[in-house]
Amino acid sequence: MFHPRRTLRALLLPLAAGLAFTALPATAAHAASTLTNGGFESNGTGTATPTGWSTYSAAGQNAASFTEAGGHGGSYRLTHWSSSAYKVETYQYLSGLTNGNYTLTAWVRSGGGQNSAYIALKNCGSSEQRTDLPVSSSGWIRIVTSIAVTNNQCTISINSDAKAGNWINVDDLTFTSGKTGLSIKGSDVSSLAKSEALGGVYRNSSGTTGDALAILKSAGQNYARLKVWVNPADGYNNKTRVLAMAKRIKAQGMKLLVDFHYSDTWADPGAQTKPAAWSGHSYSQLKTDVYNHTYDVLNALKAQGTTADMVQVGNEINGGMLWSEGSTDNWSQLAGLLNSGYDAVKAVNSSTTVALHLAKGGDLSGTRWWFDSAVSNGVKFDAIGLSYYGYWHGSLYDFQTTLDDAASRYGKPVFVAETAYPFRLDSEDSHENIIDTTGELVAGYAASTAGQSAWLRDIMNIVEAVPNGRGLGVFYWESTWNAVTGNGWDPTDSSSGNGWENQALFGYDDKALPAMSWFGAHR
């Protein structure tokens, strides 16, 4: 495994042992109104205190912070590392700032395992803001943190509280005016109504039974996602059920994303089966079917005062939809179907955002090919949604690269339409979980409540860092899909199991899990 160990450690660690520190200075002699040496290029390798920066460690472990070769954009980077457990902070004090919003951007790598590792803005007159480093041992990841400066000063801080051998790399920091944040902090709750009808129970973190939507809302969720099937075998996720759940979602003050599958059952990269009622229809009739179905559901939502805020025309349509007529083998026909859906959405409410959704969160070339084809065929859309499951869709580096490219290449906002992560591996029911072995996990993220929390936190941080404010936010997939007898994967088989309960946001004791708190904790 990569780590930044250098022989420099043998020289600096004995020196650090003789130093004593009592408190982080409130200011520094080099205080300025602009960030100095954000790329750590001024001193070369082996510098414990780079130009413009100061280092602090209460235990005298300053030597755990140093520069070395191998930067993100230049020749050098800042590294935190030690052969023994350490706590160290590298910081820079800025003064003479015009009050207002500011954003710190940094490129980072981390081998993970620390008690904490983060960048921060503090002593700025408002509450300290932090962003934790994601686990990425090879690819550089861009992260940001924003704050309101109200006292004309601010401290930029890079912190590690680490075990022996843990490491981070940080490079190319910038401190600029403006702020970041996420407008979408949501989850898919499509299985909730059936779960409740079959006896499913939901509790807050204290164990008090309550409405799952209210618990999610109190944790900070501001958006909910519902799928729509045309004529499902079990009678759930159809128009009637969506209308009922939409009332509850809007009553909680949350926004609503409606996800059209254009099927009677699951539509995803492996299956885009036409509804039975449309099975013999011509391509021309299918365009009308898409328009009428989309308009019918959305207009009914509008009529009851629960207008959809966002709509997906299709679900994970990597290979198209309504196969075979709407396959990507025939882009002109797929474009016609997608535009029929778009037109129906706008006919109901022109301000509703229309998103196209792929399961290609870490696939740069695949996402480019798909949306290049869509654009060249005149497909209309307002936003791009990507599914990103780290155990299937590539590294966090791949994810950020794909997300950033989609936002810039097509000039559209982007969001994570689906993500999730396990908090344990064993099953609560007799059905084997989809992710149930350690070999399937993402390196650095355990199947634990802490690992699940870190995953959601880091996905939100990467979306927040999409340039030009084009990162809208994240939907956690099926946050309420606990193991309830009868609420399984197969709508035609009431005995089918779940397979997802170890990735829900409610535990096997039905209590809200810690990861849920990131809906409220994130900017």
- Known catalytic residues? 316, 418
Coil/strand/helix, residue 517: helix
Question: How many alpha carbons fall within 13 Å on the CB side of residue 190?
Answer: 26
Please state, in angstroms and rounded to a whole number, the distance separating the CA atoms of residues 521 and 523: 7
Q: Which residues does 244 contact at the CB level (< 8 Å), separation at least 6?
A: 193
Q: Over the Cα atoms of the chain, what is R_g?
A: 25
- What is the torsional sign of CA 18, 20, 24, 26? negative
Helix axes 364-376, 331-348, angle to 10 degrees: 80
Please state, in angstroms and rounded to a whole number, the distance separating the CA atoms of residues 264 and 267: 9
Number of Cβ within a 10 Å radius of residue 156: 26
Question: How many alpha carbons fall within 13 Å on the CB side of residue 173?
Answer: 27
383 beta partners? 355
State the Cα torsion 186-190-196-198 to the nearest 10°: -150
Alpha carbon 206 to its chain centroid, in Å, reads 26
